[in-house]
Amino acid sequence: MDNYPTSWAPRRALVVSAWAVTALLLIGVVADALTGDRGGLVLFALATVAVGAFAAHSTLVRPRLAAGTEGLVARTLGGTHRLPWAQTRTRLRTTRRLGRDGVTLEVEHEDELYVFGWLDLGEDPRDVLDVLSTLRARG
């Protein structure tokens, strides 16, 4: 993917912070295990697994989306997916929940749908779509 001019991934500061929080939560797990606080142990263990899973996913699946004149490359836990422009459709989806608008970038390729939010891309999906539209026009 090095020959792709543009790529998006979660921000490094966010990933590093997630690993730091995972380490702190793990300390909480050990402390609760030593003191015998089973309720705290369960809560700290669940939080450690959740934040650790986010940190591991954000570390292993980088970059989440890359683009070039030939098309897109989307990375998931299932592997790397090459998506030529001719069979790919991109669009924004805005949803309103709890009084806030959430914007996601949807990439549709044949019968597959890839959905990227600002956490996945490290940028506003609207800005990413602008770049993708420019690259598509060049291709």
Work out the mean pLDDT of the chain and round it to a whole number. 92
pLDDT in the model for residue 69: 82
Distance CA 31, CA 36 (A): 9
pLDDT in the model for residue 1: 44
Mean pLDDT of all residues in 108-133: 94
What are the residue ranges spanned by the domains of the chain? 6-61, 65-137
Using DSSP bridges, classify how beta strands 65-67 and 6-8 pair: parallel, antiparallel or unpaired: antiparallel
Distance CA 108, CA 69 (A): 17
* Whole-prediction pTM: 0.81
Query: Given pLDDT bands bounded at 50, 70 and 90, which one contains residue 68?
Result: confident
pLDDT over threshold 80, residue 2: no
SS3 state of residue 65: strand
Mean pLDDT of all residues in 81-102: 93
- Please report the sign of the dihedral spanned by the C-alpha atoms of residue 82, residue 56, residue 44, residue 14: negative
User: DSSP assignment of 80-136, as one string?
Assistant: EEEEEGGGEEEEEEEEEETTEEEEEEEEEETTEEEEE-HHHHSS-HHHHHHHHHHHH
pLDDT over threshold 50, residue 71: yes
pLDDT over threshold 50, residue 63: yes
Mean pLDDT of all residues in 41-66: 96
User: pLDDT digit string (tens) for 12-47?
Assistant: 999 999 999 999 999 999 999 999 989 999 999 999
pLDDT over threshold 70, residue 5: no
